[in-house]
Amino acid sequence: MTNQLNQTEAYSKIDISTILPPSTIGILGGGQLGRMMALKARELGYRIITLDPTEDCPCSHVADAQILAEYNDLEGAKQLAQQVDVITYEFENIGANIAAHLEAESFLPQGYDLLYKTQNRLREKRAIEEAGGKVAPYLPILSPDDLVQGVKQFGYPAVLKTTEGGYDGKGQLVLRQEEDLKEGQALVQSGNTEWILEKWVPFAKEISVIVARNAGGEVKAFPVSENIHQDNILHLSIVPARIDLDVEQKANQLAIQLAQSFHLVGLLAIEMFLLEDGQIYVNEMAPRPHNSGHYTQQGCRTSQFEQHIRAVCNLPLGDVELLQPTVMVNILGQHLEPVLQQMSQLDPTCKVHLYGKKEAQKNRKMGHLNVMAESVEEALKKIDALHIWNMEDTKS
């Protein structure tokens, strides 16, 4: 143990911001993103301690140790800070007090600024606009009357969203007609949270870009993913996206522009709406690996998880070249059993990733499948032939 500490100390003196193996990385959050980060970090020779309130969480199976604590538990955060050389996170809902402590007592190269911005849709949209990105027209909604004024301005449909804590379409209401106003007003009236109203964007496609930047300023964007949602949950990521080359380049450039403007360290996943006329609106951002980047595990020379670890540890970024067309399909609770039944007959170009979660509840993300082929059309056909998912909505 003494040897190990000495070695870590010796390595960390090489460059103050470069964290070399076998240093210990602390991961706040122990879900599937933490697990896949930890797997890549281990390949590189790092040690991992995860902090998560759930025993047997997905990351616990591959981490060296787990601190069992709530994410907002300062004592837990203190323990983590003491035991690791660098800290990263796999989710956004970290309180300011915890982040401040981690920054003071440990090394949080990603900082708190961008995390703070992305925790709240209003702050996020303002930050995107300041960085030169476009967003759908929006208004803060503080009262039922604001909502009436808002839909007058935007027309129907419009989307009412909580400013904080929403995911997979939770905390959202689409107002399609005047009759929906009452429901929206009741939500706003309940006073538990703040709201924002967005004008409906009649997008042609949803796409996303994952961009990485290290403290040294090196920046690389992964190929654009075309994303298809079902019930507001990501269903498919299709790469290369079925878009024109100039749109691909524009989306990549926008991602790099945002990364540089935010002085990003780590990964930033940027969800975008592509309009019929080629305009791109930024929908939302997450400063971490993202479900729509899972395709990189097989599709690219470097996966988003390795890139994240490299960026946070200030190592040179890996090559982001797309090696072959790849489609990622999510395995939700209801898909797990059929996937397991077919596992022994799966085509070798279908790579299964499961997160080790015991309870397969409906719509819970249990794993994903990365399917490679000569073209995305062929990959989609292979997924369709498994008869596990409803593939009606995959037409370009």
Which residues lie near ligand ADP (CB under 6 A)? 136, 159, 166-169, 198, 200-201, 206, 229, 232, 271, 283-284
Specify the residue, 85 or 92, whose C-beta has the smaller distance to Mg ion.
92
When the beta carbons of 271 and 306 are compared against Mg ion, the nearer one is: 271
Least Cβ distance, residue 234 to ligand ADP (angstroms): 8
| Residue 201 φ/ψ, nearest 5 degrees | -105, 115
Query: What's the CA gap between 246 and 271, in Å, rounded?
Result: 18
Q: Are 58 and 356 in contact (CB under 8 A)?
A: yes
Query: What is the crossing angle of helices 32-43 and 304-312, to 10°?
Result: 70
Question: Which window, 93-101, 266-274, 334-342, 369-377, contacts Mg ion (CB under 5 A)?
Answer: 266-274
Within positions 270 to 329, which residues make up the interface with Mg ion, using CB under 5 A?
271
DSSP E strand stretches across the chain = 24-28, 47-52, 65-68, 86-89, 138-141, 158-162, 172-175, 195-199, 205-213, 219-221, 225-230, 233-239, 266-274, 280-286, 326-332, 350-354, 365-372
Question: Could you write out the DSSP letters of every residue in 349-375?
Answer: TEEEEE---S---TT-EEEEEEEE-SS
Give the residue with the Cβ less far from Mg ion, 85 or 271. Answer: 271
C-beta of 174: minimal distance to Mg ion in Å? 14
Tell me whether residue 374 or residue 393 sits nearer to ligand ADP (CB atom): 393
**Which of Mg ion, ligand ADP, none does residue 200 bind to, with CB < 5 to 8 Å depending on kind?**
ligand ADP
For Mg ion (CB under 5 A), the number of binding residues is 1
- Give the nearer residue to ligand ADP in terms of CB position, either 159 or 388: 159
Closest approach of ligand ADP to the CB of residue 230, in Å: 10
Residues 6 or more apart from 365 whose CB is under 8 A from it?
32, 233, 291, 330, 331, 332, 355
Taking the least distance from each CB to ligand ADP, the nearer of 85 and 206 is 206
Smallest gap from residue 330 Cβ to ligand ADP (A): 13
Find the part of the chain contacting Mg ion (CB under 5 A) among 100-108, 245-253, 268-276, 295-303: 268-276
Minimum separation from the CB atom of position 50 to Mg ion (A):
25
CA distance 127 to 115: 12
- 378 φ, ψ to 5°? -65, -40
65 binds, among Mg ion, ligand ADP, none (CB under 5 to 8 A by kind): none
Give the footprint of Mg ion on this chain (CB under 5 A): 271
